[in-house]
Amino acid sequence: MNLLVTGGTGQLGRAISRIGSDQHQITAPGSSELNVADAESVRAAISELRPDLIIHAGAMTDVDGCEHDPRTAFLINGLGAQHVASASASAGIPIVFVSTNFVFNGELDRPSTEFDTPDPISIYGASKLAGERAVAALNPRHYIVRTAMVYDETGRNFVNSMLRLSAEHPKLTIVDDQFGNPTYAGDLAFGILLLIQEPAYGIHHLTNTGVASWCDWAVKIFELSGIEIPVEPIPASQFPRAATPPANGALDNLAAASLGIELPHWHDALARCLTRRSEITR
């Protein structure tokens, strides 16, 4: 297929281009090339490229930054999704909208399914939910893909932050009462590329399997990297942030699993990411 991937220079956009380029023709502009908050730019890009499907991965993903600048968060995450959904629907093109576990409040005692009711507790979550609703309302041929704790080999993410901090400090304190599914961008990209082969429109959760706290994740990063550093678990109340992540942000991937799409365990994914990271930085 001829795919247009918004947010093409982000973690997921890069992974889709890397993994899918053998099978698909992929155009993946970054935000400087395609501003999704500009409706005319979106329409012009779709008219010029005439893609078979759009993967809308472009977003403001700075969770704390969204709290400080809600107007920009809704312009990009809400209105941007509306522009892409409207233009894709007018052109008769299916859309994949990449969303987040932050659309849930995290109060369930189990992972959230595709059929649980969203109730965001942050501007980031609310702006992404606004994007979900716009996509669902405007383009009937839509996939809404929620994911969590995305990371890759490069850029700004939890894995690279932990490796950097471990070299700068003799001891780390990490939150241990907020949970989710650490998800490798490469595996998420692979799952999305499988999903679009199915005409199974609707909401799908796509994460690596297994659940971890931020502290669990950090400990595993250090273990697999051969780094010895004391890690002290702390409650989130001792690590104040502008945005409040869902306490239980874990997702249950019911819909994708029913199609036979199941991503590997997060331990396996993390090991592969760290190996590739070492090869890239060597």
The catalytic site residues sit at 124
How many Å apart are CA 264 and CA 209, to the nearest integer?
Answer: 6
DSSP structure string for 151-162: E-SSSSSHHHHH
Those residues with Cβ within 8 angstroms of residue 9's Cβ, 6 or more apart along the chain or in another chain: 28, 30, 31
Phi, psi of 107 (to 5 degrees): -95, -5
How many Å apart are CA 74 and CA 81, to the nearest integer?
Answer: 10
Those residues with Cβ within 8 angstroms of residue 181's Cβ, 6 or more apart along the chain or in another chain: 101, 111, 147, 148, 149, 207, 208, 209, 210, 211, 212, 249, 250, 251, 266
How many Å apart are CA 178 and CA 233, to the nearest integer?
Answer: 11
Cα torsion 190, 97, 83, 47: sign: positive
Q: Which two tokens stand for residue 79?
A: 């209105």
Those residues with Cβ within 8 angstroms of residue 193's Cβ, 6 or more apart along the chain or in another chain: 16, 19, 20, 23, 24
Amino acid at 101: N
Contact status, residue 126 vs residue 105, Cβ threshold 8 Å: no
